Amino acid sequence: MLSLLILLPAAVAAVLLLARVPDRAALWAWLVTGLVTVGLSVGMWAAYVHGHGPGQFGFAERVPWMPGVGSSYHVGVDGLSLPLLALTSVVFTAAAVYSLRERQQPRSYAALFLALQTTSLGVFSALDLIVFFVFFDLSIVGMYFVIAGWGHGPQRRRSAMLFFLYTFTGSLALLLGFIGLYVASDPHTFDITELAAHPR
């Protein structure tokens, strides 16, 4: 269910772009998708509260990705990340409601924000440092296109580039920290739960 919540917006975004959905229908598809993600996140939150204790990860999913370096597609939620997932879903749904009047390339606009929702949900549910880094950096790319395409003022492209450069540079420092954790761990891993269980 967690992967469905994370990947559903991106899947809808792909359909909007590849199927050439009419602009108005694209905006409504975004809104409906947002409402579905709100329902999923609230349902997961309720199920977690009744089925898990403090500090336990729920709805965990793990699929081998790069076993050679101890990295996998590992996602899950706890009492901190679940409210963040619900809040993310609500905020993006509110943006969809506001954007029903968007007139500048609404189909691309809706698809881009749906992709951004997937990256945000992925960041808050990642239990692997590499997965976190991928979702985080994809969100930077998405925000670059939002600012460059729909920002205000003649300097929006410059602003988008500055945002991208500063944020991406910061993410490289983050990656160096992740590599340091990997090198210091025994056995070497990028898995957050394993790193937390065996602190050095």
One pLDDT digit (tens) per residue for the chain, 200 residues: 899 999 999 999 999 999 888 989 999 999 999 999 999 999 998 888 876 666 678 899 999 888 888 889 999 998 889 999 999 999 999 999 999 887 888 999 999 999 999 999 999 999 999 999 999 999 999 999 999 988 887 888 999 999 999 999 989 999 999 999 899 888 889 999 888 877 66
**What's the start-to-end Cα distance of the chain, in Å?**
33
Give 128's Cβ-side CA count (13 Å radius): 22
pLDDT of 7: 96
In the prediction, which pLDDT does 153 show?
77
From CA 111, how far away is CA 169, in angstroms rounded? 26
pLDDT at 38: 96
Q: Write out the residue range of the structural domain in which residue 89 sits.
A: 2-197
160 vs 179: CA distance, rounded Å: 28
- Give the number of domains in the chain: 1
Q: How far apart (Å, rounded) are the C-alpha atoms in residues 73 and 4?
A: 14
The single-letter DSSP state of residue 20 is T
Q: What is the pTM assigned to this prediction?
A: 0.91
* Pairing state between β 58-66 and 71-77: antiparallel
